[in-house]
Amino acid sequence: MPPTVPRPLEPVLREFAEVAGCLWDLGWAEASAGNISADVSELLKVPPSKGRAGTALPTPLPALAGRSFLVTATGSRFRDLRRAPEDKVCLVEVSPAGDHVSWRGIVWNAGDIRPSSELISHLGIHAVLREQRSDHRAILHAHPTHLATLTHLERCSGSAELNRLLWSIHPEVKLLAPRGATMLPHLVPGSNELGAATTRAVRDGADTVLWRYHGCLAHAPDASTALDRIHVLDKAARMVLLCLASGEPWRGLDDRELAELFARYGH
Ligand SMILES: [Zn+2]
């Protein structure tokens, strides 16, 4: 085990720390909530631990054969990760056959570190992204307060209603988050069902998946860009909640104004 962070991983680790700190400041990573992963295969010239046995994957992921990932550790607090990420992030390696996974710390004093309990869900999504030849390398899960709150409103019972509301109250959301959010029904946190439904949504083209009553998962070229997209959507959600709280009548963009917006920035 190397005594210091392998140099090629330093920028990714720094970005994890910055994004984790932002999530903490935003109140979207309470206690040990939130997780981040990034495919670092292209940064590591030599697969570092060929031949490690590892744990069998529930479903083989040939698209990830031999690939490596940085993944935040289970139980890690993002407020601590901001300050000292080195021993709170795992290096996860998929076997050359794509059927086993192993992990270790990236510094000598990381101890018995384990990746996020959402590891299998993250890997399933990374596999879809590789199959789609996407340049997206990072996945971020957090609990954006306003967006999650909005999923409790009856008027936001589906993705179409929710996105219409977000785009109509803050038109630039269409520019910065053109696909909006794909909302899933409530599924038990950490369940295989939630992981499978999220992977299906990503396979169908979603880049931001909103878990009803819970939080958000986004993929992007890097963790900062994933955070940007969730931030934009949450800003619009906050504006909706502020309008509702004001008690004043409010309108947002009407159908004609939305049609103009879509004509310019696509559906
Ligand atoms: Zn969560």
| 163 CA distance to ligand 1 middle (Å) | 21
Q: What is the pLDDT of residue 112?
A: 84
Q: Which structural domain, as residue segments, surrounds residue 8?
A: 1-143
| 250 CA distance to ligand 1 middle (Å) | 32
* DSSP one-letter string for 91-156: EEEE-TTSSEEEEEESSTT--S--B-TTHHHHHHHHHHHHHTT----EEEEE--HHHHHHTTSGGG
- Of 128, 143, 158, which closes a domain? 143
Are 252 and 128 found together in one domain? no
Q: What is the pLDDT of residue 1?
A: 45
State the average pLDDT over residues 156-177: 95
Are the beta carbons of 253 and 168 closer than 8 angstroms? yes
Q: Which residues contact 149 (CB under 8 A, 6 or more apart)?
A: 237, 241
40-92, pLDDT tens digit by residue? 999 987 655 655 568 999 999 999 999 999 999 999 999 999 999 999 999 99
The model's pTM is 0.94
Are 240 and 266 found together in one domain? yes
pLDDT tier, 22 (very low <50, low <70, confident <90, very high otherwise): very high
82-113, pLDDT tens digit by residue? 999 999 999 999 999 999 999 999 887 778 89
Are 188 and 126 found together in one domain? no
Cα–Cα nearest to 225, from 33, 15, 50: 15
Are 98 and 150 found together in one domain? no
Residue 231 is encoded by which pair of tokens?
Answer: 């931030």
Are 130 and 191 found together in one domain? no
| 190 CA distance to ligand 1 middle (Å) | 8
Are 106 and 154 found together in one domain? no
Are the beta carbons of 119 and 101 closer than 8 angstroms? yes
Top-confidence residue, 92 or 190: 92
Are 88 and 56 found together in one domain? yes
| 141 CA distance to ligand 1 middle (Å) | 7
Top-confidence residue, 44 or 119: 119
Q: What is the pLDDT of residue 111?
A: 80
| 217 CA distance to ligand 1 middle (Å) | 9
Are 209 and 233 found together in one domain? yes
Q: What is the total count of domains within the chain?
A: 2
Are 6 and 114 found together in one domain? yes
- Of 143, 170, 192, which closes a domain? 143
- Of 143, 161, 182, which closes a domain? 143
Residue 100 is encoded by which pair of tokens?
Answer: 């086993």
Are 98 and 153 found together in one domain? no
Kindly tell me the burial class for residue 266, based on how many C-beta atoms sit within 10 Å of its own C-beta (0-12, 13-18, 19 or more): exposed
| 103 CA distance to ligand 1 middle (Å) | 22
Are 79 and 189 found together in one domain? no
| 211 CA distance to ligand 1 middle (Å) | 9
Cα–Cα nearest to 218, from 3, 23, 12: 23
Cβ-based neighbour number of residue 141 at 10 Å = 27
Residue 47 is encoded by which pair of tokens?
Answer: 């697969």
| 210: CATH | 3.40.225.10
| 207 CA distance to ligand 1 middle (Å) | 17
Residues around ion ligand 1, judged by CB within 5 A, are 215
| 121 CA distance to ligand 1 middle (Å) | 12
Are 5 and 79 found together in one domain? yes
Q: Which residues contact 5 (CB under 8 A, 6 or more apart)?
A: 13, 86, 106, 107
Averaged pLDDT of the chain: 93
